[in-house]
Amino acid sequence: MDFDLSPELADLRRRVRAFIDTHVIPVERVIVEEDSRLDHTTLKGLQARARAEGLWTPHLPVEHGGKGLGIMGMCALFREMGRSMVGARVFNCDAPDQGNMDLLLSSASEVLQKRYLAPLAAGEITSAFCMTEPAPGAGADPSNLKTMATQDGDSWVIDGHKWYSTGGGLASFLIVMARTSDDPRLGASMFLVDRHAPGVEHVRDIPVMGPPLLAHREAEMKFHQVRVGKDAILGSIGEGFRLAQKRLVPARLTHCMRWLGLAERTLSMCRQYLGTRLSFGKVLAHHQLIQKMIADNALAIHAGNLMTLHCAYLLEKGLTKEARPYSSMAKNHVARLLCQVLDDAIQMHGGLGYSEDAPFSLWYRGARAARIADGPDEVHQVVIAREFLLGNLDLLV
Ligand SMILES: Cc1cc2nc3c(=O)[nH]c(=O)nc-3n(C[C@H](O)[C@H](O)[C@H](O)COP(=O)(O)OP(=O)(O)OC[C@H]3O[C@@H](n4cnc5c(N)ncnc54)[C@H](O)[C@@H]3O)c2cc1C
């Protein structure tokens, strides 16, 4: 693998990093505070600036207003954006919209793209992805899918109950996974549903451990006899599980990129405190137990970075199937390292770390979801072990 960035990409990366440092980090607390009142004045100002500086939706193809970066290029920029919890949204690169844009690009008709992708890419609307259901429905095991779509003439009628549809309450449209037959492989399909269509109920935003922030509000949704036309089908009937994989593999890698950025910033912030706080006659940075925590976290971030880059490299080469277990490795490792880095940052900052004067407890509460969302740790470990036992992992690549 060649780790050098092209001069254009290196320049973009430098500009995104400078943007985050100069414009986003100084006001990130203001954005969080405004968002609690659903006021997005400061965020919108930054989004306008990102647009003016040519940094808006860089992941999209040029004809859709982006820079056609490819997933390796996304790695370079998304890590920088992820250094702030609100960074990705400033550039319209946040989950779930970014993964949904990709899905619409690859699987929606031209009509749907015009109606939904164009305003989503412009940042005028937001979207949600509705797969998970309360027990006994689809969760870590998507084959438990209970939401049904039944054909009625030229329409499909959707009935079901979803939760953890991130951003579903505020979204303009939802991508809904529903059962369309009993076939274990071809029994699910994806439908694009207008959020305000008759029968779509936003039950509540679930109170969760992390703070509700921008799109990251976990909606519980019910679908009561929601009627959609056949033009609402993404891909074709029976392709739901395949499309879910297609969306989830790169989408979980983009999570890794953003999480790596936050982990790197957290560890860098520790340097400042550890280098100045005196304890037992020397600064904390000179205590070996502290150095061990720093070393463990630096190692973990670097390993996660390499796993993410390697998986992105496979995806960029079109080796989607081969990339799958490596995406599980990256997701499992980076989610855990993010939680560890934040937990250790709290520890190394003592009372300050535990307080809301420092950002780590807020970030930790949000980060803890990383080990559950997009497949819990254990499911990724099952995939890694299975692929290893089948001889499909090249650990010395
Ligand atoms: C913040 C957040 C945002 C989310 N956003 C979305 C979204 O936008 N759209 C969406 O559709 N879903 C979303 N999810 C849902 C997420 O994908 C599911 O929570 C996840 O897939 C696990 O499903 P579950 O919660 O039903 O857990 P369950 O299936 O009930 O599993 C519970 C636990 O059992 C263990 N487990 C499960 N399977 C195995 C196994 N094979 N071996 C060993 N242990 C196992 C794991 O520890 C797991 O955490 C989000 C979740 C969170 C927390």
The minimum-distance atom of ligand 1 relative to the CA of 96 is 8
- pLDDT band for position 366 (cuts 50, 70, 90): very high
* CA–centroid distance for 213 within its chain: 13
Binding site membership of 129 for ligand 1 (Cβ less than 6 Å): yes
The DSSP-derived string for 6-63 is: PHHHHHHHHHHHHHIIIIIGGGHHHHHHHHTTT--HHHHHHHHHHHHTT-SSTTS-GG
206 neighbors 162 (Cβ within 8 angstroms): no
pLDDT value of position 1: 84
pTM exceeding the 0.95 threshold for the entire prediction: yes
Q: Is the CB of 122 under 6 A from ligand 1?
A: no
Is residue 12 a contact partner of residue 55, using CB atoms and an 8 Å limit? yes
132 CA closest ligand 1 atom index: 11
Q: Is the CB of 119 under 6 A from ligand 1?
A: no
Q: What is the pLDDT of residues 50-66, one digit of tens each?
A: 999 999 999 999 999 99
- Could you tell me the end-to-end alpha-carbon distance of the chain, in angstroms, rounded to an integer? 10
Q: Assess whether pLDDT exceeds 90 at residue 102.
A: yes
Predicted local distance difference test score (pLDDT) of residue 397: 86
- 3 state DSSP class of 236: coil
SS3 category, 135: coil
Q: What are phi and psi of 140, to 5 degrees?
A: -55, -35
Distance, CA 129 to ligand 1 centroid (Å)? 14
Averaged pLDDT for residues 167-178: 98
Q: Per-residue pLDDT averaged across 317-324, rounded? A: 94
pLDDT score for 342: 98
pLDDT band for 201, please (50, 70, 90 cuts): very high
344 C-beta closer than 6 A to ligand 1: no
Q: What is the DSSP letter of 184?
A: T
- CA diameter of the chain: 80
The finding on whether 100 has its CB within 6 A of some atom of ligand 1 is no
The C-alpha angle with vertex 78 and arms to 3 and 71, in degrees rounded to 5, equals 60
Instruction: State percent of the chain over pLDDT 70.
Output: 100
Q: Is 131 in the pocket of ligand 1 (CB under 6 A)?
A: yes
Q: Cα separation of 58 and 91, whole Å?
A: 8
Task: Quote the ligand 1 centre to 191 CA distance (angstroms).
Answer: 21
Overall average pLDDT of the 355-362 stretch: 97
Ligand 1 centroid vs 373 CA: distance in angstroms? 6
Q: How confident is the model at residue 89 (pLDDT cuts 50, 70, 90)?
A: very high
354-373 per-residue burial string, b: 16 or more CB within 10 A, e: under 16: eeeebbbbbbbebbbbbbeb
> 57 CB under 6 A from ligand 1?
no
283 and 106 in contact (C-beta within 8 Å)?
A: no
Which of 247, 262, 273 has the alpha carbon at shortest distance from 177?
247
Contact of 164 with 123, CB cutoff 8 Å: no
Task: Determine the Cα–Cα distance for residues 107 and 84; give it in Å rounded to an integer.
Answer: 31
Closest residue CA from atom 48 of ligand 1? 376
Instruction: Tell me what pLDDT residue 152 has.
Output: 97
Instruction: Ligand 1 pocket test: pick from 127, 162, 164, 218 the residue with the most ligand atoms within 8 Å of its Cβ.
Output: 164
Stretch 226-243: mean pLDDT: 96
Q: Is residue 219 over pLDDT 90?
A: yes
Query: What's the whole-number average pLDDT of the chain?
Result: 97
Residue 376 CB–ligand 1 contact under 6 Å: yes
Section 238-251 average pLDDT: 93
Average pLDDT, stretch 99-125? 95
| 252 Cα to the center of ligand 1, angstroms | 13
Please, what are the domains in the chain? 7-94 (1.10.540.10), 127-238 (2.40.110.10), 241-389 (1.20.140.10)
Average pLDDT rounded to a whole number, residues 356-368: 97
pLDDT in tens, 277-310: 999 999 999 999 999 999 999 999 999 999 999 9
What atom in ligand 1 is closest to the CA of residue 130? Answer: 11
The predicted pLDDT at position 177 comes to 98
Burial 214-246 (b: 16+ CB within 10 A, else e): bbbbbbbbbbeebebeeebbbbebbbbbbbbeb
> In sequence order, what E strands does 114-187 have?
127-130, 148-152, 155-166, 173-179
Model pLDDT, residue 323: 95
